[in-house]
A and B are shown apart, each in its own frame.
Chain A
Amino acid sequence: MNVWMLGLTSLVTDISSEMVTSILPAYLIFARGISPSTFGVVDGLYQGGASVARLLSGLVTDRLRRYKEVAAVGYFASALSRVGLLLAGAAPAWLAAAVLLDRVGKGVRTAPRDALISLSAPRGGLGTAFGVHRTLDTIGATLGPLAAFGILWFTQRDYESVLVVSVVVALFGLAILLTFVTNPARPSTAAPPPSDTAAQMRLLENRPFRALAACACVLGAVTVSDSLIYLALQRQTGLQPVYFPLLYVATPAVYAIAAGPVGLLADRIGRQWVLAGGHMALALLYALLLLPSGAWLTGAGVIALLGVYYAATDGVLPALGSVTLPVASRATGLSVLGTAQDMGRLLASLGFGWLWSRGSVDGAVAAYLAALLVAVLLLLPTLRRLGFHTE
């Protein structure tokens, strides 16, 4: 119940946020008249803000043990940010503040939400629980742009309508969270809660968790971002840029469909093996980019493999993390895990761009294919040990 309701909250919230994301450039540039380069600066902020907020929110959540409430603050901040966009006019500083507030809200809600999912499912069903949540979440992200286009069509292109409705939708998501999601019951035996600082310290001494965080970072460092994969696909096959938006829709669709079954599989055969398998799908994708056989075939392969990769990693990693983490440091641990993965991925994109600029697309892809295979091979014993720890 909790997992489904958290999934529904995410679905509704993602409709709201993707509604805004899909119209924001056009709204700011054409309805408000700001210059494209100013928009570039504002849009850049979308990237950085979330990480710090996520780590802090993890710490606060574990200290208070109020998962639902901390998550609610994050959801509310994002709703508020859209009011900010409506009121900001063309002043870049205010626009930037509104965009930053949205990112901070997203950072704040991630850790308590994932911790709550993990606390609401039986140990043996964690993969499935995260899979269900990610499916619902991704469906919302797909519906958002459609809702925005529907509103633009209906109101004869009134961008403010999209923003106003997105605020309402975001508040509705918050209402679902507040009404139907419950915090886990605290152990009724009045044992004194363990000292929080001590719990955080133990996080660093927790060997399985440390190993998993290292795995997440290393595997992240061989994972090239979607946009670079699509760019490589275009260079390798000459795919017309017009089809780019299609890639951004089709990949989440595969992800949404696969996330549930893959989560179930993870609970059956061991989450660590599904994580490894997901990275093998990524390796296949890199190989496909090296042997292009026509834009459509390669494109379809890239979409399918990337969708499967996300299904096998995005929910499976926190599921795996949850079993290595005691309840007292669950939210903190999951936020550290996510940040480790993000740091790895940032490194991957920088390295890939560097190789591409100094050599060729082929060279960069081949190097990452080799690095990915070596990384998975080297991490297999670690992943196997993680499996023992988390049985």
Chain B
Amino acid sequence: MPPRRSPRPALVAFVLVTVVCVAGSVAFLVSRRQQAVARATPATSTSTASPSPRVDSVDGHRLLAAIRAQPHVYYRSVRPGEFGHVVVAALDAPDDRRVVSNLVCDRLDFGRQRGICLVANDGVAGPAARAMIVDLEFNVLAALPLAGTPIRTRLSPDEQVAAATVFVTGEHYDADFTTRTTLIDLRTLTSVADLEQFTAERDGRPFSRIDFNYWGVTFRSNSQRFFATLGYTGTRLLVEGSAEARALRVIRDNVECPSLSPDERLIVFKSRVPDSREWRLHVLEPEGGAEWAVAGETRNIDDQVEWLDAGQVLYQVLEERGLPEDALNVWKSPVAQGVSQPPVRFIRAASSPAVVRP
């Protein structure tokens, strides 16, 4: 097909555009890589951006041992220079007495011996997110592929089992989103179950829908038993599950992301405010069924809380505006009935706190 006019000017323009596109992209990527490498280089102690020692320095190693001798907290830092890195900090000075590890996580939980670290796909392992089981030196013992974007993870108190919830896109029904929750056996380092394959029952009768989703597992001290959220279009239920029986039982309505206190007396969860997209923190006594709102915390909270001690919880809050380094912080609130005390910022530029008491 002979063109009606000479294509030459257009062709020249196209070649120019191509060259500019390719050269510009390559130059841009190389510069971003250099920036990333510079960021990852351990900062000197005089730098103000990252004054905390790295775990692989002599100072860092000594400090880490001292921190771990006392109650401490692991969390994901979003400070510049250590974005996404796991930090270990003293519980009484989490912003100051801290050591930065080389492990990068999006969601994490740690115990006395082990930790679980979920990473959204970062190109390292190809197109897969993964759950990494790590030891106290942050060595990766196992990396299991995950089928989506990590959103919640929990380790059982006896550190035998872990749960990982991912968020799956492109799998919509008419629900607002789809999740998958996997149980991982930490003795064999394999994934043992997908909660959607368990049988569910409600009021003693089997119960099944196509749009079932499970998320937010919290383990009892017997790691074979746990609580979780069962969600489907417009409904959020608290279920109690048994890994041995591969079965789940509906306990209560309008409960999301339960978190069981270490003494198993209370569950703190997020409760949907009717006709809104907001949640408030509520407390439930699993024995007896009493429920109350966390009176001091009146903001929208979207997190699975972590227990700081028998009466206080930690959770992340994203302020309306700004970059995560300014806007994403971990807060602390008392939860006892009748207590109305305003929440306090507990760790700045952080998410995913995991408290460990040696």
Interface residue ranges, A against B (CB under 8 Å) = 1, 21-26, 29-41, 43-44, 47, 89-91, 145-146, 148-158, 160-161, 164-165, 168-169, 171-172, 175-176, 178-180, 182, 227-228, 230-231, 234-235, 238, 240-245, 248-249, 349-350, 352-353, 356-357, 360, 364
Contact = CB atoms under 8 A, between A and B. Distances in A.
Nearest to A349: B173
Nearest to A358: B209
B172 A47 contact: yes
B208 interface: yes
A56 B279 CA distance: 39
B170 A153 contact: no
Contact of B318 (A21, A90, A169): A90
A39 B172 contact: no
Contact of A240 (B149, B194, B327): B194
Contacts of A349: 173-174
B21 A172 contact: yes
Contacts of A360: 208
Given A25-B169, A227-B170, A353-B174, A33 B324 contact: yes
B172 A44 contact: yes
B318 A33 contact: yes
Query: Among the interface residues A23, A36, A161, A243, which one has the most CB atoms of the partner chain B within 10 A?
Result: A36
Contact of A352 (B29, B127, B129, B210): B210
Contact of B302 (A36, A145, A171, A350): A36
B177 A37 contact: yes
Nearest to B178: A227
Interface residues of B, number: 71
B187 interface: no
B121 interface: yes
A90 B323 CA distance: 8
Given A41-B176, A156-B36, A228-B210, A33 B78 contact: yes
A29 B149 contact: yes
A124 B327 CA distance: 61
Interface in B144-189: 144-149, 151, 167-174, 176-177, 180, 182
Nearest to B207: A357
Contact of B127 (A31, A44, A245): A245
Contacts of B320: 90-91
Given A25-B169, A152-B121, A245 B128 contact: yes
A47 B173 CA distance: 11
B82 interface: no
B210 A231 contact: yes
Interface stretch (B6-14, B54-62, B90-98, B289-297): B6-14
A149 B123 contact: yes
Given A153-B124, A168-B25, A33 B169 contact: no
14 contacts: A21-B169, A25-B167, A37-B177, A40-B167, A89-B322, A152-B123, A155-B32, A157-B122, A160-B32, A171-B21, A240-B194, A242-B145, A349-B174, A353-B209
Contacts of B77: none
A240 B184 CA distance: 13
Contact of B123 (A29, A151, A176, A228): A151
Interface string B327-354: 1100000000000000000000001000
Contacts of B1: 1
A242 B210 contact: no
A90 B321 contact: yes
Nearest to B7: A179
Query: Among the interface residues A26, A34, A249, A364, which one has the most CB atoms of the partner chain B within 10 A?
Result: A26
Contacts of B149: 25-26, 29, 36
A150 B125 CA distance: 10
Nearest to B40: A156
A186 to B, nearest CB: 12
A175 B18 contact: yes
B211 interface: yes
B126 interface: yes
B210 A179 contact: no
Nearest to A352: B210
A270 to B, nearest CB: 28
